[in-house]
Structure 1
Amino acid sequence: MSTSTGARRLRADAEQNTARILAAAAEVLAADPAASLERIGEAAGLARATVHRRFASRQALLEALTEQLNQRYLSALDQSRMDTAPPLVVFRRLTEIVFELKVSHRFAMELMGAQDGCRGGLSPEVAAGLEQVFDRLREAGEITATGADWCRQVYLALLHEVHQLPDDAADLVAAGSSRPELVVRSVVGALGGSQRS
């Protein structure tokens, strides 16, 4: 085996281990936010030394989870077809995708919500993407609120609150049991939109 082939295999193994650790961390930390790196390693099927080689500290692991989720947010913004679809359609698509993330990455979403004040742990790129969505909604007359931070805070807060609602909550039933639809209607209403939206 050549040196370059060996190096590629080591890199591939390291990337695979990192992905396994992050997946295990998201699952374990959702059940127990205080779980140790050792416990996360066990869930990933890896030795503690391997986990520590990939992540020198618990903080480094949490930062990697946040970065991974930011990348998924960016992907969601891209999938919402922001440049081509009508703004309200973009907002609905984005919200549907974010709810899928919220279900599968609960701990990371909660971690992001606890960081960086009004941005909620969002990267500058994700915050700018959300701002662009709200700019388009404003230009289309769907909302009247102008503060980027305020729009983002309202959206993130309502995402969290609607996610916490029991399945039989009256407002959720009125929205056809669609959490994304309830968020969209509530955010548009809170930001000065009309009921027609």
Structure 2
Amino acid sequence: MTVQRADARRNYARILAVAEEEVAAHGADASLENIARTAGVGSATVRRHFPSRQALLEAVFSERIDALVARATASAGAPDARAALLEWLGALTAYASSARGLAEALTLAGTDDPDHAPACCSAKLAGAADPLLQRAAQAGAVAPGVTAADLVTLVTGIVLATEHHQDPAAEANRLLDLTLRGVVPQG
């Protein structure tokens, strides 16, 4: 195991703090050069700690992604499997619509980027949602063939479509509800 020097740890923390602010202000396209300049390090230092934009974005969002994963894990044994899945999808939508850049980070996960880490945000979220989805499917509360990756992609699309709305979170929640209820009523 490699131990980082104290200055390398400080640089990492400083870069990450600046990146969080820049991504919140400018989304996933935040300038890596501006992040380096504001953090007081060179571009090479940023790239040494974060070899790709995806790696940087995942670090920015990792704490909240981990909280969503923990929430899914805690809800996996809930008595009402359908309600547990819907609550988790609502939490994912709420966070993704309030965290500028997260939806873009989730779309980058599907690219052929060679630097793309296997433990990416979307894979973590889909992995966490899968037990909730399986239980809901066993209870007959989900259409056959729906995957956890489908659900993460659906939320990502809703968030991207509503990000410039006057109230992105409210609009994202409205569209998620519409999607879950269905556009055409049964019967």
Distance 1:122 1:76 in 2: 10
Q: Is the 8 A contact 1:26 1:108 kept in 2?
A: no
Aligned to 1:140: 139
Distance 1:101 1:113 in 2: 16
Distance 2:184 2:133 in 1: 12
Aligned to 2:35: 40
Aligned to 1:27: 21
Distance 2:184 2:144 in 1: 6
The structure whose RCO (Cα within 8 Å, separation 6+) is larger is 2
Larger Rg: 1
1:106 is the counterpart of 2:105: no
Give how far 1:57 is off. Answer: 8.2
Aligned to 1:72: 64
TM-score between the two structures when normalised by the length of structure 1: 0.62
Listed as ranges, the gaps of 5+ residues in structure 1 are 1-6
Give how far 1:161 is off. Answer: 3.0
* Secondary structure at the counterpart of residue 21 of structure 2: helix
TM-score between the two structures when normalised by the length of structure 2: 0.64
Deviations 1:26-47 (A, max 9, x none): 332442755543311333xx32
Give how far 1:116 is off. Answer: 0.8
Q: Is the 8 A contact 2:12 2:49 kept in 1?
A: no
How many residue pairs get aligned? The number is 172
Amino acid at match of 1:52: A
Distance 2:26 2:152 in 1: 27
Deviations 1:74-132 (A, max 9, x none): 42121242223233333344234434533553124313224316xxx645343222232
Give how far 1:191 is off. Answer: 10
Q: Is the 8 A contact 1:70 1:126 kept in 2?
A: no
Task: Report sequence identity in percent.
Answer: 17
Distance 1:94 1:39 in 2: 35
Are the structure 2 counterparts of residues 154 and 100 from structure 1 closer, same or farther at C-alpha, using a change threshold of 3 Å? closer
Distance 1:157 1:186 in 2: 14
* Secondary structure at the counterpart of residue 22 of structure 1: helix
Give how far 1:25 is off. Answer: 1.9
Deviations 1:132-184 (A, max 9, x none): 222222222322142314444333323433454433x9xx9xxxx4844652x
Aligned to 1:84: 77
